[in-house]
Each structure stands twice: as structure tokens, then as C-alpha cells.
Amino acid sequence: MKRTRVRFAPSPTGPLHMGGVRTALYNYLFAKKNGGDFILRIEDTDSHRFVPGAEQYIIESLNWCGIIPDEGVGVDGPNPHAPYRQSERRGIYRQYAEQLVNGGFAYYAFDTAEELEKARAEAESEGRTFIYNATTRGKLRNSLTLSGEEVQELLTSRTDWTIRFRMPEGRTVQMDDIIRGHIEVDTSTLDDKVLWKRADELPTYHLANIVDDHLMEISHVIRGEEWLPSLPLHYLLYESFGWERPLFAHLPLLLKPVGNGKLSKRDGDKMGFPVFPLKWVSPEGEVSRGYREDGYFPDAFVNLLALLGWNPGTEQEIFSMDELIEAFSLDKVGKSGAKFNPDKAKWFNKEYLRMRSDQELTELFMPVLSAHGISAEKSRVQEIVALIKERATFVSDFWDIAWYLFKAPEEYVQKDAAKFWKSENVLMAREALSATASAHEMEEYIREREWPMGKVMNCIRLALTGSSNGLGIADIMRFIGREEALERFRRAEERLII
């Protein structure tokens, strides 16, 4: 049996969308499950759409997720098919385009941009849309309509010609997709796509993609649904070259949380979640948030992505990468789009946070504390982490949950003060606090006197934390100590008007 070889083939046109990361992930899982290779190929032949930094971003994103290629751009290991950056392979493609011309499957096209524009405008004025295909190519300037000498002359004198695929007439392309099943497309709906351009001596996506998949011995093409319309052309290209084709699987789209349509950065901005793995600053300076910077754990992100379109067929939701590899198969990938649920994404992170050791979380929390100007003993921080981790979704929540264990409140929530800072409560609270040595004793003290426990406790809590909610008084007092508690109460008495 042929070795399983799959590739992730992004174009470096901007930050990698989370849908792109999912495509990479499914390729990776499929390769590992089948003992094969996962290759990272950079498809950068469209120089107009090239964005500086995008390639590095892709590599860093995959790295962060633990989706590590066996071969490809940025890989140190054995790279038998190098280079993997198409711009560095430019010399390879022309011969293949010419092979197709020689076989009658493609032709040279000499129409200038203006001529094509004119043809387009003409068609439009007659209510048609212009496409370069069997019905129009006979009236255009190409090697099918010009004489051999003319063609030779133009090939040398001009540098703006292209090689186009000669889309066959009257055929139904029969295709099979692992996810979508059998598909048929009539060639009359397809056009003569440009395969190679003399102007920059570069192939277009279609040619480069097929040539490289062939040369890199790709066994399965797993990619986003948006490439499905290109499939008939790709089938015909393989047929024209006489090459064995890989198997294809087109993944469902990631959909907006509400409504229909593709998940976009705009949805993220609107609803407050990232759509990119890492923060990205565009060359124009526009900033997009990333899962990493928002505090997601990479394994939580991978887990949530895995389940957007793939269904393990069981109730299990939490999967390590190894478990994903074990469980993954393309026949459990759905046909219809997967709706992204930002709350569910958070749920995954919360679950992963709970699974982290207190020690690891402490290491992550220490720099957050320093950023708030707090220097605290690690062992103390670890105890606090152990106490609060169940309440947090992100490590950054630790600060919001427990900041008052590290410093005294500087202000008090108005409405809580209005409700609980009343003279009779303050008197009881002051007495209970000063007459006892621990929270436990204090509670006893209040109970014995049949004082209103809730009111007194909330009054104390307000003094200690600045509001009437948060951790239990016993925990707060244990961490800040009795002296500090008394000091905070005294300060509250100074600052709060009754």
C-alpha cells in the first residue's frame, strides 16, 4: 500500500484563520493515525497577495499547537522533496505547463489585459458574462487560433502571455470525495484557467498545487470546502498528465456562532473572541487578537478545533493529541458546516485549566502578579492557586478572583457599602474581629450572640475585599492574616461613611 503523505499548503496572505489551523490539524491527525508524513508547503506564487510575516506566523502557530510537520518549510529534519516553498521551486513548473501544451491539453494565450477587458465589457453589454472557454477561445488570440510562426514570434517578442488549460467540451467530470461522496460536474460550467504566466515566470495555484502534490507523492488532499470548485480542474489536470491522483477530502466550513455563513474576524470582534491562533499585527498596524494571547492553552485550542467538524462517535469531549490521533478518521468528519460556539471554547479552556497542576499554574500566575506589581512567595501563591483554580477559565482570571489576597482594596463597591456598611453591623463586626483569633472563632462568637451572621460577615468582607462577594471569609483571613484583616477594617472605618 502507498505510504500516507498529506500536506498543509497555506498561502502566506495574512494570519492563519482558525479554520486553517483545523485543516492543518486534521491533516496531521490523519498522517499520524496512518503512520504517514505531514508536510508543510508554502504556496506563495501569487506575489500580489504576499504578506510579510505571514509565513513565520503560520510556522509559529502550528508550533504553538503542537502540529509539527515531518517535512517542509521550517523543518530541520530530512527534507527529501525540498524546497517546500513554491517561490523557490519556480524553475520546476514551466516544463509541466509546456508538457500540457504539447499534449494538446493547454495552449498559449496572448490576449492582453485590455483585450480581455474589452471582451468582458462586450459580453456584459449583451447581458452575458465572459468566460475564456470552448465557446470563446476560437475567437481570441491564442495558439489555437494563430499560425505556428505567429505563435513563435509572440512567444519571444512578448512577455505577457500565459498558458491556459484547454477545458474539454461536453464532458462530465466524475469525482469522488471522501467526505462528500460522488460529485459530477459538467465541463461547460468551467473555464480555461491560467496555469502559468510568462510575466513573472510563475505558475498559478492550480498548476503548482498539482505538480507539487505529484512530486511530493501526496496520497490524500485534505483541505477546506472552498477548494471544492477547483476539484474538476484538478481531476482533469491529473488525467492530462497521466498521473495517479491522490484521494480528496473537503472539510466543512466553520460557521458563525449565530446566523449563517463563514466564521469571520468580524464575528470575533463583535462577540469578543479570537479567530486567529496568535495575535497578529498587520503591516498596516491593525491588531487582531489571538487564542494564545487571550490565555487559551494550546491543547485546549487543539481539542476544541478537533471537534469542530469531526465527531468521535462517543460522548467523549476531552482528548489529548495522542487520543485524537487514535480516534481520528475522515469518515467521522461531517459534510455540513460546524457552528463555532465561543462559550464552548471557554469551557474547554476551563477544563484544561482544572487538569493543570497547581505548580504549573503557579508558574504561569507568577508573571501576572509581577505585572501587577506584586512580589509574593511561590508557596503562598500555589496555595492560593489551589484554592481558586476551580473558579477560573483563564490564568488571568486568578487575579480578578483573588487580587485582594495580595493587596488591600483601595475602593469599595458603592452599592455593597450602602447595603452592608451600617452602624450596627460595623459595631458587631469590629467587636467580633478584634475579640477572636481566627475566622472559625469569629463565627462562633457571632453565633453565640445571635447576631445576624450574613450582615456581619458581609460587612467584614466589604472591608477586606472592597465588595460583598468573593472567597469565603475564612480563606481570606487565612491568607492575609488577622493583623492585616484588622488593619483593613480600620481603614474601611476611616474611609466609609455610614
Active site residues: 265
- Cα(123)–Cα(283) distance, integer angstroms: 39
Distances (CA, A) of 239 to 96, 100, 218, 246, 269: 13, 11, 16, 12, 45
Is 228 or 324 the residue whose CB approaches ligand GLU more closely? 228
Is the omega angle on the peptide bond into residue 78 within 30 degrees of 0, that is, cis?
no
Binding segment toward ligand GLU, per CB under 6 A, in 4-12, 145-153, 173-181, 391-399:
4-12
**Binding string to ligand GLU for residues 58 to 87, with x set by CB under 6 A, is what?**
------------------------------
- Cα(33)–Cα(323) distance, integer angstroms: 10
Smallest distance from ligand GLU to CB 264, Å: 16
Q: Is 186 in contact with 172 (CB distance < 8 Å)?
A: yes
Q: Is 10 in the site for ligand GLU (CB under 6 A)?
A: yes
Residue of 314, 349, 337 whose CA lies nearest to 22? 337
Smallest distance from ligand GLU to CB 87, Å: 13
Residue of 92, 1, 3 whose CA lies nearest to 39? 3
Binding segment toward ligand GLU, per CB under 6 A, in 5-13, 277-285, 317-325, 405-413:
5-13
Smallest distance from ligand GLU to CB 110, Å: 28
Q: Is 232 in the site for ligand GLU (CB under 6 A)?
A: no
Is 10 or 290 the residue whose CB approaches ligand GLU more closely? 10
Q: From the list 92, 116, 198, 227, which residue makes contact with ligand GLU (rule: CB under 6 A)?
A: 227
Smallest distance from ligand GLU to CB 223, Å: 3
Edge-to-edge strands, sheet with 194-197: 106-109, 162-165, 194-197, 202-203
Q: Is 466 in contact with 391 (CB distance < 8 Å)?
A: no
Is 276 or 412 the residue whose CB approaches ligand GLU more closely? 276
Q: From the list 5, 17, 22, 223, which residue makes contact with ligand GLU (rule: CB under 6 A)?
A: 223
Give 310's strand partners: 333
Q: From the list 36, 37, 38, 43, which residue makes contact with ligand GLU (rule: CB under 6 A)?
A: 43
Q: Is 192 in the site for ligand GLU (CB under 6 A)?
A: no
Is 230 or 393 the residue whose CB approaches ligand GLU more closely? 230
Chain centroid to CA 109: 39
Q: Is 209 in the site for ligand GLU (CB under 6 A)?
A: yes
Smallest distance from ligand GLU to CB 10, Å: 5
Collapsing DSSP to helix, strand or coil, 169 comes out as coil
- Cα(31)–Cα(7) distance, integer angstroms: 9
Handedness of CA 406, 408, 414, 416 (dihedral sign): positive
Smallest distance from ligand GLU to CB 22, Å: 12
Q: Which residues of this chain interact with ligand GLU, rule CB under 6 A?
A: 9-11, 43, 205, 209, 223, 227
